[in-house]
């Protein structure tokens, strides 16, 4: 049974990679790039929400500031886009250090509110600093270039940008699978106990916060380069909310669920807008309510539980082994919120 579980994982992984590679063949390439960027952003939020127990409502600050910084680097220096994206991500991580330092002492709703407040500060700076950011007109005409290769065709840019997203996912996956990630989970479940065991809880939270901001920064920078545009929308609080919604839809604490949530929301927005449907919010809102009421662990979480239950039943039927172990990764799934 362990063998079958281990064999299942590479199959899923391969299927995921194939899906990521064929995406721009089946849908409009810029939309495919949007899905990739949002998936990484949502995974970064999930790293905090699902694995550290911190609901950040201010991640737009990192996604957005990286979008602006990447855009400015590409626009004014003409450096190839990977440099611009990394520059943006590093800026986001640097910005996250002081914000995280001040916020991680708080818990629950207070943490969410303080991060929201910081994100709004970033929003107002971006809005007022018109000479640099273009204010509400946004930063326009960001070039897409890689050592003289013109990547203005979105189809090719998808493949140029995809490695960054995959690397980001790999990093997130490594983080949650590392001893460091285990400590984060223990902090999520019982911070007092973790502290009693001698872990500097606040420092762990801060590091998780900065790493999450770095990943958000990669996603935001790529997003800006992909659109050739960075606007105030990127630092607006609804962007933070959108990422949280994606995480909840896909399944908190699943990491891969974020990609499903992102694909669902981006495709839905694109499809409804193209079909001329006026009230996109009603549909997204309704889906959100249904998922929260009926599938509390999200789409991927529910699917995983169903598969696990199915496997257990089959195993119970074939070998009446009373010591069937519970799924190992269950410890990553937080108890449903009350």
Partner 1 sequence: MRMLRRSVALATVGALLAGCGGGPGGGGGKISDGAVVLAVLNDQSGIYADLSGRGTIEVVRMAVADYQAKYGDKAVAEKIDVIAADHQNKPDVANSKAQELYDRQRADVIVDVPTSSAALAVATVAKNKKKVFLDVGAATTELEGKGCNKYTFHYGYNSYMLANGTATAVTRDGAKNWYVVYPDYAFGQDMERTFTAAVKNSGGTVVESDPTPFPNDNFSTFLLKAPDLKPKPQVVGTMQAGGDLVNFVKQYNEYKLRDQGIELAIGLMFLTDIHSLGVDALRGTRFTDYWYWNANPENRAWADRFQGKVGRRPTAAHAANYSAALQYLEAVQRGGTDNADAVVGQLEGRKVNDMFGRGGTIRAQDHLLIHDAYLAQVKSSGEVKEPWDYEKIIKTIPAAEAFQQPSAACRL
Residues that bind partner 1 (CB under 8 A): 12, 15-16, 18-19, 22-23, 26-28, 30, 34, 127, 130, 135-138, 140-141, 152, 154, 227-229, 231-234, 260, 263, 267, 270-271, 273-276, 278-279, 300, 303, 307
- 84/232 with CB nearer partner 1: 232
d(CA 138, CA 157): 22
- 202/329 with CB nearer partner 1: 329
Q: How far is the CB of 138 from partner 1 (least distance, A)?
A: 5
Q: How far is the CB of 31 from partner 1 (least distance, A)?
A: 8
Q: How far is the CB of 271 from partner 1 (least distance, A)?
A: 6
Q: How far is CA 163 from the centre of its chain?
A: 16
- 72/210 with CB nearer partner 1: 72
Helix (H, G, I), strand (E, B) or coil at 207: helix
Helical H runs in the chain?
A: 2-26, 29-49, 60-77, 81-103, 108-128, 130-133, 154-177, 179-189, 191-196, 201-227, 237-250, 256-275, 280-294, 298-318
d(CA 88, CA 11): 34
Q: How far is the CB of 213 from partner 1 (least distance, A)?
A: 21
Q: How far is the CB of 58 from partner 1 (least distance, A)?
A: 19
- 100/257 with CB nearer partner 1: 257
- 29/100 with CB nearer partner 1: 29
Residues linked to residue 205 through DSSP beta bridges, in sequence order: none
Strands 229-230 and 149-150: unpaired
């Amino acid at each position: 049974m362990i063998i079958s579980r281990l064999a299942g994982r590479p199959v899923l992984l391969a299927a995921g990679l194939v899906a990521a590679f064929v995406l721009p063949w089946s849908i409009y390439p810029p939309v495919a790039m949007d899905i990739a960027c949002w998936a990484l952003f949502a995974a970064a939020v999930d790293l905090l929400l699902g694995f550290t127990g911190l609901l950040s409502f201010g991640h737009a600050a990192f996604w957005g500031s990286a979008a602006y910084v990447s855009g400015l680097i590409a626009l004014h220096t003409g450096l190839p886009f990977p440099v611009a994206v990394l520059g943006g991500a590093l800026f986001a991580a640097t910005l996250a250090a002081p914000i995280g330092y001040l916020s991680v002492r708080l818990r629950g709703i207070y943490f969410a509110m303080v991060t929201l407040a910081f994100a709004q500060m970033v929003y107002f700076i971006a809005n007022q600093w018109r000479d640099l950011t273009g204010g509400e007109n946004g930063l326009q005409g960001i070039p897409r270039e890689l050592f003289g290769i013109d990547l203005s065709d979105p189809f090719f840019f998808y493949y140029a940008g995809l490695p960054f997203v995959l690397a980001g996912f790999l990093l997130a996956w490594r983080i949650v699978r590392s001893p460091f990630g285990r400590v984060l989970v223990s902090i999520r479940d019982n911070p007092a106990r973790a502290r009693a065991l001698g872990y500097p809880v606040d420092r762990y939270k801060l590091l998780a916060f900065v790493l999450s901001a770095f990943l958000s920064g990669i996603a935001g920078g790529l997003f800006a380069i992909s659109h050739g545009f960075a606007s105030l929308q990127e630092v607006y609080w609804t962007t933070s909310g959108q990422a949280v919604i994606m995480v909840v839809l896909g399944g908190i604490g699943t990491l891969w669920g974020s990609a499903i949530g992102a694909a669902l929301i981006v495709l839905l927005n694109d499809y409804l807008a193209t079909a001329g449907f006026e009230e996109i919010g009603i549909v997204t809102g309704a889906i959100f309510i249904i998922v929260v009421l009926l599938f509390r662990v999200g789409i991927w979480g529910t699917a995983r539980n169903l598969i696990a239950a199915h496997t257990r039943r089959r195993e119970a039927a074939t070998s009446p082994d009373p010591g069937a172990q519970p799924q190992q990764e269950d410890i990553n799934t937080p108890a449903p919120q009350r």
